[in-house]
Each structure stands twice: as C-alpha cells, then as structure tokens.
Copies of this chain bind each other. A is one copy, B any other.
Amino acid sequence: MSQKKNDAICSMDENFAQWYTDVCKKAELMDYSSIKGFIIYRPYGYAIWENIQNELDHKFKETGHENVYMPLLIPSGLLQKEADHVEGFAPECAVVTKGGLEELEESCVIRPTSETLFCEHYSKIVKSYRDLPKKYNQWCSVVRWEKTTRPFLRGSEFLWQEGHTIHATELEAREETLQMLNIYRETCKNLLAIPMVTGLKTEKEKFAGAEETYTIEALMHDGKALQSGTSHYFGQGFAKAFDMKFLNPSNQLEYVYQTSWGVSTRLIGAIIMVHGDNNGLILPPRVAPIQVMIIPVRSQVEGVLEKSREVEMQLRKAGIRVSLDDSDKTPGWKFSEAEMKGIPLRLEIGPKDIEHNSCVLAKRNDGTKLTLTLDESLSTNVQEQLDKIHEEMYERAKEHLKKHTTRVHSKDEFVDALENVGGFVQAPWCGDEACEQKIKEETTATTRCITEEQPGAEETCICCNKKAKHVVNFAKAY
C-alpha cells in the first residue's frame, strides 16, 4: 500500500468509519441531501453504478430475464397480504397519505421492495404452464426509513435491482435461486475484484417471507463483513397468499414456485472498503469510470499537449476509458486528485518522455511505475496492465480474506479469533436461534452464512455445547 500523502481524508487506521465517509465525499462519489439517509449520487459514483448495471443487465438478459417497471407505490392493504413480509417491512415504510391536495382513502407506502406488486401482476397474467416461467427484473430505487444511515451502506433510499421469478416446479425455482447467486459471485469476482463468501442465511437472518435466503458476503479492510447481495427461494408462500396458480400439463391447478434476488449500490461501499487506502479510492479497472488518466507534464512545452491528445485518441479507439487532464492545475495536484479518485493508471507525458518516445505509467493499486513505448503497441500494453491490476487486486483481497478467516471449535477460540484476528470466524453451532442471539449479544458477531462444511461427529455448539448441526461463518458486520 502506498504511503499516506493526502491530508484531505482521515487515516483508515485511526478511524475507519471517518476514513470511509471522507473518501465518499472527497472522491466525489456522493453528497448529502437535506433529508437524512437520502444521498445524491454524483457523476463519478453514479458512473460506477452504471458499469455494475451494464454488466449485470447483460448477464440477466443472457439468462433469459426481462426488465419491467412496477409502480413506485404499494397500497397499504396489498403489503399486508403475506404475514412475515409485512411484519418485516411495515416498520420501515415511508407512507403517502395525501395526493393532489386530498387525503387518500387508502394510504400507500413507497416500495421497500416489490414482491407484493410482482405477485399481484403475476397472479393476473399467468394461467397455464405455457405462461411459465416468468423471469422479470427491475432497476429502481427503494425506500426503507432507517434510523442510522451511512452512504451506500445503509440509506433510507438506495438504488438496486430486484429480480422476481415464478416457475412451474420447485426444482426449477431452486436452480434459479442458485444461478443468480452464482452470477452475483462471479460478477463481484470478475468486475469488482472482490472474493465473496457465499452460503445460506440462518432462519433468524433470512428475508421476510422467504423459505431460504442465500447471501454473498464480502470482508472489508477493517475485518467486518458486508452482506452484498441476496437470492431468495420463496417456495409457495407468496403464491398461496396471492393466489398465483397455473394449470399444469395434466390440467390441474398448482401454485407457482418463486424466487427473488437483488444487489444494490451497497456494492459501491464494498469496493471502497475492500480496496481503498489512505490516499483514497482504488477502483478495480473494469468498473472504473476512468481507467487511465493522462497527465501532461510541462504541458506548456510545444508538442506535449498534442502528444497527450494523440495518446488519448489511441487509447479511446481501443475501447479504454481514458481522460486527459489538461486543466491549469499543477501536475502534483492532478496526481493527488487521480489518486483520491482511485483511477487505476496514471499516464504521464513530458518533454523528456516524448524525446525517448515513451511515457510513464503509475499503477494506483501498488504505487509502482513502468515505462511504455509510444507506438502502436501502447493500447495493448495498457490493456494488459489493466487486466494485471484486476488480478493483483483480486489476489490481495483474497489473501486478506484468507488471513482473516479462522476455524474454531470452542467459545474461547471464538472470542479470541473475533477480537484478535477479526473477519470470519467459522464455528460449530447447534442450529438453535437462542444460541445465535446469545452470541450476538455477548460479542456483537452475527451469523453471516452457513458453510458447506459438515461439523465433526464430536463437535458441539460453541454456545450451548449441544451437538453441532452446522459450521457457521460468524462475523461482526455492517
């Protein structure tokens, strides 16, 4: 990691929370609005989200999903149709009571999530097995009135996608749930350079109304986990509440099997806290709005700006997202700005470089520099460096995850690992919600997901010492 040179942000080692909000603001990702928890996504932050959207949208369509747009408002009565669901969401809803100067007969809530709307629509349009599956997705914002808010991590409004699918068979719905989990994991790996820990949520932690919730969990630099996306299998719960039936090939009425899945702008929070350092953001190249920032050195010298523009055009033609900073700021100022914004490569061109027909590339992720020849090979070489940076960032994050994952067998080991190592602590658990709750109260660690590992035959729950049922990833979490 580069040495801290920038006083505009707090040191991450001194105060990680402050460092985080400093980076959010100083890298111009967001700004606060006058309503608590409702942030402004500034161009640089929104462009990251657009890159995530493009990649996911492509993957969704490739796997046969279609985009739709459902209403922003849900009648209060509709939200109440599925008991667990309303219990989970009603306390966080924003309620519209007036429209066009008149009191509404029935109040509405701004969607906190859209299961109920999709269910109502599906129940109208699906009659037969020939109409199945329906695999819809929606890009939108949702509102959940939160008491404690932090940019990208927990907001009263956030941007996300919500997929909602219905199927003729349980098998197909379960496959869909896992397929989407896999798309999330792979996208986080290949686009964001973030390794994800995946698995089932416990009963206590699952989504309100789901039969099973799968999660992707990332490990932040400070050793805390961040739930970064979920994929739910609903079984026929909502189908029964909303009367979503279809005629099967034997002409019998059956309830559909359902899934939903979503990721949000929380992923931007994950990028910041997995990759950032004391000089600001470090963006994985494939999601970076600007991959290469060209900074002319001694740009008043004849030929420097011309050459810089030439290089800019060459890289742009090769499909590289490049920008040229030809403002009248000093190169030092420009370097520091490019660092704060986490631009993967800084390309310096000065009179000396032009003389040697070369330019200097500085890698944001590890601070190293290299010299490249200014000829037709430049764009290929730059692209190679971008790919290399992606791999390096992914490997570094994986290493951090590995170092901060501890398998324990007793309460003492558990507490020790949690306090002295941090990250994920994998511990045997009896499956009892009371133990889960007790551990949370005593240590603030929560169950992130159930691992695939089977506990040993003799292993016992770290809390109650009864026979262990699962090995669970515990962590302190955002």
A residues near B (Cβ < 8 Å) are 31, 33-35, 38-43, 46-47, 49-50, 66-73, 75, 78, 90-101, 108, 110, 117, 120-121, 124-125, 130, 136, 140-141, 143, 145-147, 156-157, 159, 327
Q: Choose one: B95, B124, B327; the contact of A99 (CB below 8 Å).
A: B95
Chain B residue contacts of A68, Cβ below 8 A: 40-43, 46
Contacts of A130 in B (CB 8 A): 327
Contact yes or no, B121 A73, CB < 8 A: no
- Closest Cβ of chain B to A418, distance in Å, is 31
CB of A284, distance to nearest CB on chain B (Å)? 20
Chain B residues within an 8 Å CB radius of A47:
66-67
Contact A100 B147 (CB under 8 A): yes
Q: Are A31 and B71 in contact (CB under 8 A)?
A: no
Choose among B71, B90, B140 the residue that contacts A40 (Cβ–Cβ < 8 A). B71
Q: Does A34 contact B95, Cβ atoms closer than 8 Å? A: no
B43 and A73 contact, CB distance less than 8 A: no
B34 touches A120 (CB 8 A): yes
Which of B35, B42, B93, B99 is the one whose CB lies under 8 Å from A100? B93
Which chain B residues lie closer than 8 Å to A136 at the CB level?
43
Q: Bound state CA distance, A85 and B49, in angstroms?
A: 31
How far, in angstroms, from A156 to B41 measured CA to CA in the complex?
25
Copies in the complex: 2
Inter-chain contact A121/B72, CB cutoff 8 Å: no
Given contacts A40-B121, A99-B145, A100-B93, contact A69 B159 (CB under 8 A): yes
Tell me which of A42, A43, A96, A141 has the highest count of chain B C-beta atoms within 10 A of its own C-beta.
A96
Cα distance A33–B35 when bound, in Å? 29
Q: With A35-B75, A50-B67 as given contacts, are A99 and B156 in contact (CB-CB < 8 Å)?
A: yes
Closest to A95 in B: B98
Which residue of the partner chain B has the closest CB to A130?
A: B327
11 contacts between A and B (CB under 8 A): A33-B120, A46-B66, A46-B68, A47-B67, A49-B69, A71-B157, A91-B100, A91-B101, A93-B100, A94-B99, A95-B97
CB-CB under 8 A from A327, the residues of chain B are 130
Q: Are A71 and B110 CB-contacts (below 8 A) given A97-B95, A99-B156?
A: no
Q: Which one, B40, B96, B117, B125, contacts A96 given CB within 8 A?
A: B96
Q: Which of A70, A90, A327 has its CB near the most chain B CB atoms (within 10 A)? A: A70
Given contacts A41-B69, A73-B157, A94-B99, 9 further A-B contacts (CB under 8 A): A35-B73, A35-B108, A40-B69, A43-B67, A93-B98, A94-B98, A96-B97, A97-B98, A99-B145
Is A96 within 8 A of B94, CB to CB? Answer: yes
The distance from the CB of A473 to the nearest CB of chain B, in whole angstroms, is: 30
Chain B residues, CB < 8 A from A43: 66-68, 136
B38–A72 touching, CB < 8 Å? yes
Nearest Cβ distance between residue A135 and chain B, in whole angstroms? 10
| Contact call A92/B100, Cβ cutoff below 8 A | yes
How far does the alpha carbon of A34 sit from the alpha carbon of B71 in the complex, in Å?
9
Partner of A69 from the list B71, B99, B141 (CB cut-off 8 Å) is: B141
The residue among A31, A38, A100, A120 with the most chain B CB atoms within 10 A of its own CB is A100
Among B72, B146, B156, point to the contact of A110 (Cβ < 8 A).
B72
Q: Which residues of B contact A72 (CB under 8 A)?
A: 38, 72, 110, 141, 143, 157
Chain B residues whose CB sits within 8 angstroms of the CB of A75 once the complex forms = 34-35
User: For the complex, what is the distance from the CA of A94 to the CA of B87, rounded to whole Å?
Assistant: 25
Q: Which of B39, B67, B70 interacts with A33 by CB under 8 Å?
A: B70
Instruction: State A97–B327 Cα separation when bound (angstroms).
Output: 47
Chain B residues within an 8 Å CB radius of A157: 71-73
Which of A43, A49, A66, A75: most chain B Cβ within 10 A? Answer: A43
By Cβ-Cβ distance, the 4 closest A-B pairs, closest first, are: A100-B145, A38-B71, A43-B66, A41-B69
> Given A91-B100, A136-B43: A71 and B35 within 8 A (CB)?
yes
Residues of B within 8 A of A33 (CB): 70-71, 117, 120-121
Which chain B residues lie closer than 8 Å to A91 at the CB level?
100-101
